[in-house]
Amino acid sequence: MDERDDTEFPTQGHFIKLSQEYAGLLGDVNYIKNEGELNLFGSGSWDTVFSMCAKAGFLKSFSEKSHINDRFFLGGPLSIRGFKTYGIGPRRQNDSLGGDMYWSLGLHLYTPLPFRPGGFAERFRTHMFATAGNLAQFTEDTPWKKRIESLGENVRWSYGAGLVLLAGIARFELNYCILGWNSLTDSINAGLQFGVGINDL
């Protein structure tokens, strides 16, 4: 459901996306993967725009353990900023193992460039942000209460400010990121971080 006033630079409205993926007709992979996303936008004085993006997902594997390529991953310049791509969560050596459940939240305050230079510069925005989230793996017999409690423990979060360029469907960001909390096993990228992509938090 897309009720934004503009797809590139929304100032009002909301966007909701729900998806479900099922595998199990052929082969040894058998799971259901659910994911949801909510975006809210509101405008303020001096052309400022506040946005909130919340995402969550749940993977239920019908085999003994979920496959790593089916799991969720967190971290990166357009995800929870200040962490390397897929840098959050359990790892084996240098490889992220992902999680069966996750949540993430991003808050942004956008403003136009000072003095409104016009032309191509109108595609830039400055922004301040705060991002947070967590993921975890579970066995089939893990109680739901324990799963929810686990996602509320050791929450990773970061904040900072930077410059955003929107060019069509692509988004470019150059940010200075400050980590609020990270696990010793996470792969971090505090300080300057550059990212480009289509989907962001």
Q: List the domain boundaries for the chain.
A: 13-198
Give the pLDDT of residue 123.
Answer: 87
What's the pLDDT band for 7 if we cut at 50, 70, 90? confident
In tens, the pLDDT along 161-182 reads 999 998 878 899 999 999 999 9
Please report, to the nearest 10 degrees, the dihedral formed by the alpha carbons of residues 28, 19, 81, 109 taken in order: 180
Please report, to the nearest 10 degrees, the dihedral formed by the alpha carbons of residues 106, 94, 29, 147 taken in order: -50
pTM assigned to the model: 0.89
Cβ atoms 4, 13 nearer than 8 A: yes
pLDDT at position 27 over 80: no
In tens, the pLDDT along 45-57 reads 888 999 999 999 9
Give the pLDDT of residue 198.
Answer: 85
Cβ atoms 174, 113 nearer than 8 A: no
Give the pLDDT of residue 30.
Answer: 80
Report the DSSP pairing between strands 49-61 and 101-112.
Answer: antiparallel
* The amino acid at 157: W
Task: Pick 13-198's CATH classification: 3.30.930.10, 2.40.160.50, 3.10.20.600, 1.10.3720.10.
Answer: 2.40.160.50
Give the pLDDT of residue 156.
Answer: 95
DSSP letters, 64-103, are: SS--GGGSB-B-STTSSTTB-TT-BS-EETTEE--BSEEE
Tell which wins on pLDDT, 92 or 85: 85
The mean pLDDT of 152-161, rounded to a whole number, is: 94
pLDDT at position 187 over 80: yes
The overall average pLDDT reported for the chain is 89
Give the pLDDT of residue 163.
Answer: 96
